[in-house]
Every structure is written in structure tokens, then in C-alpha cells.
Structure 1
């Protein structure tokens, strides 16, 4: 089976100008290389929440829980690289604050060239795009080796929060409660909640709710699946319970969300 093509886009296009697509905790099936070109905000990544700003390069592997809250004037570029690609990429999520002018110019040039090829009708455009993304990966892996970009040691709360995030990405559709996840991680629900709150500013229940809500909204706006099928797929006991969940967190019914997206 062939892989999807590599895509280079903007943060606004990635989110479809729908704030929830970035603001809710979620994960992607592809590798993401995000380059913030203007503005600032906050990012949840690898179990912690921290500031993000201009000339931050962010690498997010598949099945990594993350969210971004950026100011209205913020802008960024994104390379979406399908999992299973031949391009060599880092193994772990990273946020790099780039201060060297030549490194900034180099990544800007790589994104510009990749962006042109992604919209080009020229022969071998995909081959050229693959080559530019391979060079982008080299840039990223070189930056990671620099002393100023060595990862900070994670404290116990951050490690537990990251482990919980990994479980959420794998099991959010099973209907497991926060207490179920805590039990699987061999901690009490209270301890898990405190750790997540300390590391991310969100409780464990908040993170789980956001991931389920994200999956629900994607299913509602991108598919025509009946409500009861969406509810069952996400581990809800009934379509009525699913409807109450959506109304509680969006102030709209599932049908209204779907209709608004179609309109």
C-alpha cells in the first residue's frame, strides 16, 4: 500500500481555521515539523506545557499527545510527513528555540522550496519535495545534537503526565475512565491528577476529555457516520450519553456541529 504524499502547509490551513483542531489535546497519524514564523502562545507536548514563540521548531512524532494555543497574529508552517516514510526522523518529540540567524535562514529556505514543490505541476515534483524534506530532517537532527538543544531532564510529574498522554492516544476510544488509566499506571487517580495539573495546567480528566472530544468532532465533521456509530466507536454507552457529552463541552448538539461544518 502506497503512503500518502508529504504535504507542506500553514498552521491555519492545517487547522482549517477551526481553533479546536489545535487547541484540544490530540495526536496525529503523521510526523509533524512545525516552524513558528510569528507570534507566541503555549504548547502541550511530551507531558508538559510550556511557552512557544517565533523561530521555534517543533517535531511531533505520530501518536504523540499535543495541543497548541497561539495568539491571533501567530503564523507558522507545517510539514506533514506520513509514518513509514524513508526519510530519517528523530524518535522523540522536541521543541527547539532557534536563535542562530543562519539556521533560521536555512530552515526558512527549506520550507519555501518544499512549499513550492508541494503545489508544483512540474515533472518529478514529488521527488523534489521528498529531497527537500530529507534535507529538513538533516537540519532538524543537526540542531538536536547542539548543546543548547539538549532536552531538559523531566521530573516525576512530567514523566507520569507523558505516560498518561501515551495511554490516552492508544485507548481514548475504549471508554476507559481516568481512574482506569491511573490503575494501569499503578498510581491513584488523585496522584495522576496532581501530576498532570503540575506538568500541563490541566487535570488528567481534562486531557482525556479533550482527546475524546477531538475524536468526536473529527468524526462529526469529516464523516457521515450515524451518531450511534460514532458513540459506539468512542466507547459511549449510548447515543444519548454521547449527545449530552457533546452538548456539555460545545454547547451544541452533534447534529448542529455536523450541519455547521457542512454549511
Structure 2
């Protein structure tokens, strides 16, 4: 079975005027490479929250929980690469703060050239995109190998938060309670909540809620699956409970969210 095409686009197109598409804690099935070209903000990655800014490269493997709050002045480029390509991509999430002028120019040029191939659709465009992605992979692996980009040592709270984020990515739709997650991690729910709050600024319940909310919003805005089926898939006991959940966190019912999305498109 052939893989979906690689997507190269400005970050603003990924957000599509809806900040929740990147600001809610979520994961994606593809490798996500984000190159920030302007602005500052906050990043949730590897179970910790940290600052993010201009000329930061983010490498996010498939099914890795993350959230990005960049602000209205922020901009950048993003590559969404299907899992399973022959190109070697980092297997661990990284935030690379790039300061070398030549390296900054190289990454910017790779993204710009790949994006031109996507938008111009010339003959052999896919071959050209693959070649640019291979160069991006080399660039990333060279940066990761630099002493400046050695992994940050994580304290106990951050390590526990990272393990919980892995569980959220895999089990957000299973209807598990916070006590269930805590027991699986060998801690109490109170300890898990404190650790996540210390590492991310969000409680464990916040992270789980955001991942569920993201899945619900994607399903409502990008599919025609009935709301009651979405509710069932996400582990809600009833459609009414799902409606209350969406109203509480968005101010709108599932029906209203879906209608608004259709009007936008």
C-alpha cells in the first residue's frame, strides 16, 4: 500500500485560523518537523513545557504528544512525513535551538525549495520533494549530534510526566480514570497530578482532556461521523455527556461546531 504524500506548508496553513489545532495537547500519525522562523511562545514536548523561539527546529515522531503556543506574530514552516518512509527521521522528540547562521540558511533553503515543489507541481515533483526531505534528515541528524543539542537531563517529575504523556497518546479514548493511569504508572493520582503540573504547567487531567478535545474537534470538523458515534469512540458514557463536555471546553455544542466548520470551508 502506497504512503500518503509528504505535506510541506507554512505553519499558518496547518493552524488554518484555529489555534486549537496546535495549542491543544495532541499527537499525529506522521513525523512532524516544525521550523520556526519568527516569534516566541511555549512548547509542550517530552512531558515538559519550555520556551520556544525563532530558529528553533522541532522534530516530533509519530504519536508523540505535543502542543505549541506561538502567538499571532509567530510564523514558520512544517513538514508532515508519513511514518514508514525510507528516509531516516529522528526517533526521539527534540527541540533544537539553532544559532549558526549557515545552518539557519540551510534549513530555510530546504524548506523553501520543498515548498516550491509542492505548490508548483512540476514534473518529477515528488522525486524532488523526497530529495529535499533526505537533505532535511541529514541536517537534523547533524544538528542533533552537536554538543549544544545533547538531551536535557530530566528530573523525576519530568520523567513521570513524559511517561504519562505516552499513555495519553495511546489510551486517551479508552475511558480510563486518572486513578487507572496512576496505578499503571505505579504512583497515586495525586502524585501524578503534581508531577505533570510541575513539568508542564498542566495537570494530568488537563493533558488527558486536551487530547480528547482535540480528537473530538478533528472528528467533528473533518468527518461526517455522527456525534453519538464520536462520543462512543472517545469513551464517553453517553451522547449527552459528550455534549456537556464540548460545551464546557468550547462554549458550543458538537452540532454547532460542525456547522461552523462547514460554513468556514
The normalised TM-score by structure 2 is: 0.98
1:173 is matched with 173
1:48 maps to 48
Q: Hey, which bits of structure 1, 4+ residues long, moved more than 6 A?
A: none
Question: Take 2:121 and 2:239, find their aligned partners in 1: how far apart are those partners?
Answer: 46
Q: Distance in 2 between matches of 1:223 and 1:82?
A: 20
Note if 1:69 corresponds to 2:69: yes
The aligned residue for residue 137 of structure 1 is 137
Structure 1 residue aligned with 2:243? 243
- SS of the aligned residue for 1:235 comes to coil
Matched length: 263
Give 1:71 shift.
1.4
Equivalent position of 2:222 in the other structure: 222
2:83 is matched with 83
| CA distance in structure 2 between the aligned counterparts of 1:212 and 1:179, rounded to whole angstroms | 17
Counterparts of residues 3-18 of structure 1 (less than 5 Å): 3-18=3-18
**C-alpha displacement of 1:90:** 1.0
Q: Name structure 1 gaps, 5 residues minimum.
A: none
Deviations 1:163-212 (A, max 9, x none): 00000000101111222111111110000000000000000000000000
Matched, 1:208 2:208: yes
Please report the TM-score for the alignment, with normalisation by the length of structure 1.
Answer: 0.99
Q: C-alpha deviations, 1:146-176, integer Å up to 9, x for none?
A: 0011011111111110100000000101111
Q: Which runs of 5+ in 2 are unaligned?
A: none
Residue 258 of structure 2 corresponds to: 258
**Alpha-carbon separation, structure 2, partners of 1:119 and 1:162:** 37
In structure 1, what is the Cα distance between the partners aligned to 2:7 and 2:23? Answer: 21
